Structure formats: C-alpha cells, structure tokens
Amino acid sequence: MNAMHPAGPPAPGHPTAHGDTPRAGTDPATDPLADFLTRAKDARARHRTTAAETAGGRPQDWAHPDRGAHLALPIGHRPVDRALLRSKEGKSRTNFLLELRVVYAMLTGVDRQAVTLEHLQAFPWHQVDLDGAADFRRAVYRRYEVQGTRNDKVCALRRVLDECYKRGLISARRLDLLKETLYTLAVDQDSTRRRRLSSDEIAALLRACASNRDQRAAARDAAIIALFRTSGIRGCELVRTKIADFDPAQHSLLLRETKNGRPHVIFLHPQAEEYLQLWLAHRGPQPGALFSALNRHDLTPLNVSTVRDMVHRRRVEAEVAPFGVHDFRRTFASDLLGRFDPALVSKLLNHRKLDSTMLYDVRGDELKRTAVASLALPAVPLLGPEPTIVPPEDGTEAAVKACTP
C-alpha cells in the first residue's frame, strides 16, 4: 500500500511551533540546527505576511511544501532520530525501530526487510496527509487482528508526527487532525473512539477513590480526578506541575510546560481545590512535584503511564465503561461549549486555534436531538383512519379493527 499523498501547496501563515528559536549563544552560520530553525522562522513570517494579504487563507492546516525540508536538519535532529531518542535505550528502542520499519514499508510498499535507518531518516514524514493516514490505519486493521499490535503500528507513526510538529514541519492544527485520524482503541475492551463522561460516572470514580483504605492514595487520586474533570488539564501537564505552581490566594495553578509551549494558568473549581488541599495535607509542604509517589519520603514526580494506570484501576472499581484520560478534557470542553462562548473555552484549553477547540466537542447526537426538538412546528388536529369491519372467522360477532394505510 502506498499511503503517501501530496500535502498540496502551503497554506499561508501557519502557526509557530514551539522549539523553533535558535539556542542562545549559537551562530546560524556555523550551527546547522540553528541555521535551519532560523530559516524556518523566517519562512513562517513570510507565510503570515501572505496570510494578511490573501483572503480565505487557512494557516491553521499546514505542512512544509518541500519534501526534503527535514533533510536540512542535522543527523540526530530529524523527526525519526528524535522519536527514537525518546524511547528507552535497549529493547524498547529496538522494538520501536522495528515498528517504524513496518510503518515505512506499509506507507511506501517496499519490503520491510530492505528498510534501513537511512530510509527512515530520509522519508518525508511531514508529507503524510489525512487521506494517507486514514489509508494507513485501514491497512493496519486489515493486516493485523490483535488490537495491541494495531495500536503499536499506529502509535509509531503518531510519535514521528509529533516530532515533525516540534521541528516546525507541520502545524499544530495538522497534527491534531492527523491524530484524530490515527486513533487507537483499548486492548480487549469495548471502547469507543472518544466519549463524554457523565456526572454519575465522575461521582462513581470519586467514590472509588474514597473507598481506598490508604487515605493518602485516596486523597491524591481524588485530587487528580477532580482536576482532570474541572480544568481540562492534560496528563503530561499534570505530572510536570510543582507545588510552587499552586497559588491558593488566586485559586489557580500555573502550567509552565504545556503542549504548545505557552505557560497557562488554570483556575481551580472550589470543590476541586478542596480535594487538592486535602492531598497537600498528606503530601506536606516540601518543594517538588505537586503529585508524587505515595511514599512519604519520595517526592519523585508521577509519569503519565502511572496516572493512566491509576485512572484505569478507579474506573474498574467504579464499574464505569471504558474511557481514556483525554476524555476528561473532552468532557470539560463539551460541557462548557454548551453554555459559554467557544472563544472563552478555547482560552481555558490553551488552544492557539478555535478549530482545535471544536475537535473536543463530543456532545454529538445529544446536541443534535436538542437542536431539532427546539424547532417550532404547529400542531394541527387530524382525523385517524376510518374503522373497517372484519368478517368473523368463527361465526361470532364481527370485530371492528382499525385499518391503517
């Protein structure tokens, strides 16, 4: 299968990706990475200028038009290199490299055994578009029956696309759209692509936390779930917060490290702040991660996998239908979009583009039914069908039955 599709002409004015500022003290003339980032920044400035002069431009969905743009990056800084370096050295990295070889083979139609690291580094991953991503995912599902194997292949491509975004080769909007296309499903569970959690389900999760005999674990897990529900915080942002980022006077939490690189302040729900204060009473005032291990003397930050495992355990205990941690964020967005201006919700989610916010709206059929039911339709009395005499079969008195057209 060849799932590569031309990305098409560049849409002007694509948004700036984080990580594109040359490092302090570097000379673009002698540092290849600094030179590339400088030229990429200049190119984005030209696109923004063109966008201001061109009506109807779509700067939010953009990919670098040059198939060889990534080759200007030095070895070790290309998307594949960065994705490999993020894998733990040893078996994990080896397995990821094998997955990438399979992905490359499926995208290009070549023999997997002939794929080398040089092939992976030279491939224009940033040119994979939505049609190509959809074709790839369908091919994976046709070839493999085990859901875990399917997820491995899809996630390998997602990780490289993440690095394309970080290197400024695709826009945040395109990355969001590609990830929506390259979604995964929970293994051995009846899962859905994405869903909205109900108030009853949130309450059940909090009750599951409260039922834990370990009060320290109960307080920490309840605070995490409350924050997820009422702030739209991402898992990767939650594990990076420090106790110094919590401002009880302003009832807020500062996120210094976010997906788009912009610091973001979230305002705490009163009840969520009570859960957080209870956890801090157990944790203590020592500097370090806001959410740490349950060992009182270990303030090592949690990682995203640990948070996901915790949420999964509480979900099973609460007997709640399968969902992902990111569904808390979708629930937060969907509930607010029903009552507040989308631009405000976009700010609360720390999105650069309003279109990115609308991807989180999972109200679906519920909203459609409400919209249709709100329409005015005059009620006019109508006569029903004339009754018809049906001859009796047993000689008894005839029965009168309604005849419907």
Put simply, whether the predicted model's pTM sits higher than 0.95 gets the answer no
Sequence spans of domains, the chain: 32-181, 199-367
Question: How far does CA 11 lie from the centroid of its chain?
Answer: 23
Q: What is the mean pLDDT of the chain?
A: 80
pLDDT band at 32 (very low <50, low <70, confident <90, very high): low
Length of the chain: 405
Calculate mean pLDDT across residues 209-214: 90
Percentage of the chain modeled with pLDDT above 90: 38
Once rounded to an integer, what is the mean pLDDT over residues 137-166? Answer: 91
Helix (H/G/I), strand (E/B), else coil: 55: coil
Using the predicted structure, report yes or no on whether residue 123 has a pLDDT greater than 90.
Answer: yes
Mean pLDDT for 346-373 is 78
SS3 label, residue 74: coil
How many alpha carbons lie under 13 Å from residue 335 in its C-beta half-sphere? 15
The DSSP secondary structure of 80-112, one letter per residue, reads HHHHHHTSPTTHHHHHHHHHHHHHHHHHH---G
Check whether 384 has a pLDDT greater than 70. Answer: no
Judged against a pLDDT cut of 60, whether residue 140 lies above it is answered with: yes
- Average pLDDT, integer, range 24-44: 63
Write out pLDDT tens, residues 201-211: 999 999 999 99
201-210, 221-230, 322-331, 386-395: segment of lowest average pLDDT: 386-395
pLDDT value, residue 275: 93
- Say if residue 342's pLDDT is above 50: yes
Closest to 11 in 3D by CA, of 54, 71, 70:
54
Dihedral-angle region of residue 284 (phi above 0 means left; psi in -120 to 50 means alpha; beta otherwise): left
Find the mean pLDDT for residues 143-152: 86
AA identity, residue 141: Y
Give the separation between CA 249 and CA 261, rounded to whole angstroms.
25
| Buried-state track 88-101, b at ≥16 Cβ within 10 A, e below 16 | eeeeeeeebbebbb
**Burial of residue 253, with CB atoms counted within 10 A of its CB: 0-12 exposed, 13-18 middle, 19 or more buried:** buried
Predicted confidence at residue 193, as pLDDT, reads 55
Give the position of tokens 């939650």.
238
More confident residue, 298 or 289: 289
State how far the Cα of 257 lies from the Cα of 255, in Å rounded to an integer: 6
CATH class of the domain whose range is 199-367:
mainly alpha
Of residues 88 and 274, more confidence is placed in 274
